[in-house]
């Protein structure tokens, strides 16, 4: 079942990345005081997603006012989700970043009384993939080195990332443990509120490996962080500056974790405002500068909007529910 789920998710990302639609959006109709909520501390994947919208929409001249980024950590998206649905359901100027991790948490009922049907899924603007990262002075030079150490004594390897048990990053760690023939219940996992905190812990030697995302690792490397990427959890090697990093599959471990990145708005946002955002994101991704910006932030092509994205998200939540059930994460 695991392989089927991952294959479907990879196929969905590849199919969606080819969708191109020509539309128009007028900056004159743009919302006032636009904001993007990043549901974590600065420095992680949600921050990166909001920055992509902030810089991309500005480059495409879609906004008449600068977009601000609001950081709202808590529950890997749960606090932001509840805030928007409960307190800002009709805020047409507010978009919220989400990832595959958000959908995984929704699948497990971790967003409280709200579910996948309680927001309007807006646009997907990029894809990402899981990675295993260590410090550049780590004794683990390859994924095999890490796996062998994990198998020899799981108590000596502390894996860290954003999110608690059942989160996307925990799932990457659990899949890594399973690939090393280690009972995932015996692995040591330290949860952080985002990629920025996890990177700090890795640099401080508090964890031995960081189960993060390729885009985060890319920006860390570009920023001079002393890290080494042992493997990417993708079907094939990633293009560009990450092309020298072997996949886990290449190294003999069947671990794949593709990630969608995008935005949603509150459930009562008007059709007029919702459609404006849809058109703005389409124009943003059609702009020649967007590809350069996407690459700069380490993301990979993936575009989907409106009702098509709504269908895709709900299919993913169903598939994540099945996967989570194999790890005993779904309450019966």
What are the structural domain ranges in the chain?
Answer: 2-127+258-326, 129-242
Q: How far is CA 33 from CA 24, 30, 40, 301, in A?
A: 21, 9, 21, 28
Beta bridge partners of 263: 97, 123
The matching CATH number, chosen from 3.40.50.1100, 3.30.930.10, 3.40.190.150, 3.40.950.10, for 2-127+258-326 is: 3.40.190.150
Angle at 122 between CA 121 and CA 127, to 5 degrees: 95
2-127+258-326 and 129-242 in the same fold: yes
Q: Output the six-digit token pair for 264.
A: 């949603």
Give the CA angle between residues 291, 297, 300 to the nearest 5°: 55
Instruction: Note if the pTM is more than 0.85.
Output: no
Burial classification of residue 141, based on how many CB atoms lie within 10 Å of its CB (0-12 exposed, 13-18 middle, 19 or more buried): exposed
Query: What are 284's two structure tokens?
Result: 């943003």
Residue-level pLDDT, tens digit, the chain, 332 residues: 444 555 555 555 544 544 444 344 556 588 999 999 999 888 878 998 999 999 999 999 999 999 999 999 988 789 999 999 999 999 999 999 999 989 998 999 989 999 999 999 999 999 989 999 999 999 999 999 999 999 999 999 999 887 778 888 889 999 999 999 999 999 999 988 767 788 888 888 899 999 988 888 888 888 888 899 999 999 999 987 789 999 999 999 999 998 899 999 999 999 999 999 999 999 999 999 999 998 888 888 899 999 999 999 999 999 999 999 999 988 76
Q: Around 320, how many Cα atoms within 13 Å sit in the side-chain half-sphere?
A: 28
Angstrom distance (rounded) from CA 155 to CA 162: 20
Q: Which two tokens stand for residue 147?
A: 């796996």
Q: How many CA atoms lie within 13 A of 174 on its CB side?
A: 19
Architecture of domain 129-242: 3-Layer(aba) Sandwich (3.40)
């Amino acid at each position: 079942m695991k392989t089927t789920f991952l294959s479907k998710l990879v196929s969905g990302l590849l199919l969606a990345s080819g969708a191109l639609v020509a539309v128009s959006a007028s900056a004159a109709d743009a919302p006032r005081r636009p904001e993007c909520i990043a549901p974590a501390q600065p420095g992680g994947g949600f921050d990166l997603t909001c920055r992509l919208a902030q810089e991309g929409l500005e480059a495409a001249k879609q906004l008449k006012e600068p977009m601000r980024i609001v950081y709202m950590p808590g529950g890997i998206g749960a606090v932001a989700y509840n805030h928007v649905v409960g307190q800002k359901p009709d805020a047409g100027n507010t978009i919220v970043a989400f990832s595959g991790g958000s959908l995984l948490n929704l699948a497990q009922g971790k967003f409280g009384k709200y579910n996948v049907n309680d927001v309007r899924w807006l646009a997907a603007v990029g894809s990402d993939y899981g990675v295993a990262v260590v410090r550049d002075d780590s004794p683990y030079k390859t994924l095999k080195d890490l796996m062998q150490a994990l198998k020899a004594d799981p108590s000596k390897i502390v894996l860290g990332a954003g999110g608690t048990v059942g989160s996307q990053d925990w799932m990457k760690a659990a899949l890594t443990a399973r690939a090393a023939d280690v009972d995932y219940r015996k692995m040591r996992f330290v949860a952080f509120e985002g990629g920025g905190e996890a990177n700090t812990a890795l640099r401080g030697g508090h964890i031995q490996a960081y189960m993060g995302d390729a885009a985060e690792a890319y920006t860390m490397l570009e920023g001079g962080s002393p890290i080494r990427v042992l493997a990417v959890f993708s079907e094939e090697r990633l293009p560009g500056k990450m092309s020298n990093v072997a996949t886990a599959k290449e190294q003999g471990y069947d671990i794949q974790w593709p990630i969608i990145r995008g935005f949603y708005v509150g459930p009562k946002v008007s059709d007029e405002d919702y459609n404006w955002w849809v058109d703005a994101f389409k124009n943003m991704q059609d702009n020649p500068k967007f590809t350069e910006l996407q690459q700069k932030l380490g993301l990979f092509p993936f575009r989907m909007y409106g009702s098509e994205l709504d269908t895709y998200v709900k299919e993913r939540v169903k598939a994540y529910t099945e996967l989570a059930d194999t790890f005993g994460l779904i309450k019966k």
